Amino acid sequence: MRHFLTLKDFSKDEILEIIDLAKSIKKEAKRGEFVPYLEGQTLAMIFEKSSTRTRVSFEVGIYQLGGVGLFLSKNDIQLGRGEPMKDSARVISRMCDMVMIRTYSQKSLEEFANYSIVPVINGLTDEYHPVQLMADYLTMIEYGKDKNPTVAYIGDGNNMAHSWLMLSSKLGFTLKIATPKGYEPKREIVDDALNFAKKSGAKIQILNDPKEAVLEADVVTTDTWVSMGQEEEKEKRLKDFDGFMVDNNLMKLAKKDAIFLHCLPAYRGYEVSEDVFETHAKEIFDEAENRLHAQKGIMVWLDRNRKK
């Protein structure tokens, strides 16, 4: 049985297999065909962090696949009162067919998965956001940006940067990450990516100059500078990230037909300018919609793998 905790755990072929499945399911949905691949199944959705896209995409996704989503906030279950993660896992996984968790600690997620008897999906942790990257890559394919692309990630070396490192190093494309000094991705995750890149041929650079990163990029992407749980650092972060906003001047350095992606929510005037956001709104909201389709692909793939 497989879980979906980080792209680090998946091969190139497996990632592309899930993407192909997501593409197929999306085509069916666009024709109005909702095949009940997960008929009668229940997805437990545990939220220790609030969400818009994760909540809506998973709940709609499991419904369209013929199953039922069960929303469980930390205030609804005993996790919020201190029940050990492993005990919650052993209870919930006996009653549900699959579990999605959106939480802070990757270690807590992994502990839950270790004790679960059903597949567990990472809906986001402080370390990784793999479901978002599957949606991002599906969007890149749809815009013709999947053939030897150069991706520039500008901003904080956070869970999105870590997930881009995993995707790039597994699939073999060029990734340039630019962060302010002191905000680089975790060294151990960079090292993992560089090791994977030896096999895939990926070219990875960790920089401190956003202009250098964006130069001739096919895809430019960013994320909020102040993630959930970092609100007290806001003023310091805004000062430290000065010069890292993706604006028209920065986008001009990328290829003329470059696309811009953002996992949302977007804070205009901080990590992205209003002009850039609205110019690339179609790409951004196609990307947001693709959370639904990519996650349906993930759920169906995990279910099929479990039955092998």
pLDDT tens for residues 99-140? 999 999 999 999 999 999 999 999 999 999 999 999 999 999
Question: Tell me, what's the pLDDT at 284?
Answer: 98
| Domain match, 21 and 105 both | yes
| Domain match, 231 and 150 both | yes
| pTM, two decimal places | 0.96
Mean of pLDDT values over 76-99: 87
The verdict on residue 248 lying in a domain is: yes
Mean of pLDDT values over 5-28: 98
Question: Tell me, what's the pLDDT at 104?
Answer: 93
How many domains, the chain?
Answer: 2
pLDDT > 80? residue 230: no
The verdict on residue 278 lying in a domain is: yes
Mean pLDDT of the chain: 95
| Domain match, 249 and 280 both | yes
Lowest mean pLDDT among 37-51, 128-142, 225-239: 225-239
Question: Tell me, what's the pLDDT at 143?
Answer: 98
pLDDT > 80? residue 48: yes
The verdict on residue 27 lying in a domain is: yes
pLDDT > 90? residue 226: no
| Domain match, 78 and 157 both | no
Question: Tell me, what's the pLDDT at 228?
Answer: 62
pLDDT > 60? residue 80: no
| Domain match, 259 and 141 both | yes
| Domain match, 90 and 225 both | no
| Domain match, 120 and 159 both | no
Question: Tell me, what's the pLDDT at 233?
Answer: 81
List the catalytic residues.
102, 129, 132, 223, 263, 291
pLDDT tens, residue by residue, 252-308: 999 999 999 999 999 999 999 999 999 999 999 999 999 999 999 999 999 999 977
| Domain match, 220 and 167 both | yes
| Domain match, 146 and 263 both | yes
The verdict on residue 2 lying in a domain is: no
| Domain match, 175 and 259 both | yes
The verdict on residue 51 lying in a domain is: yes
The verdict on residue 259 lying in a domain is: yes
| Domain match, 204 and 272 both | yes
Domain residue limits at 67: 7-129+291-307
* CATH number, position 83: 3.40.50.1370
| Domain match, 210 and 124 both | no
The verdict on residue 29 lying in a domain is: yes
SS3 string, the chain, reads CCCECCHHHCCHHHHHHHHHHHHHHHHHHHCCCCCCCCCCCEEEEEECCCCCHHHHHHHHHHHHCCCEEEEEECCCCHHHHCCCHHHHHHHHHHHCCEEEEECCCHHHHHHHHHHCCCCEEEEECCCCCHHHHHHHHHHHHHCCCCCCCEEEEECCCCHHHHHHHHHHHHHCCEEEEECCCCCCCCHHHHHHHHHHHHHHCCCEEEECCHHHHHCCCCEEEECCCCCCCCHHHHHHHHHHCCCCCECHHHHCCCCCCCEEEECCCCCECCCECHHHHHHCHHHHHHHHHHHHHHHHHHHHHHHHHHHC
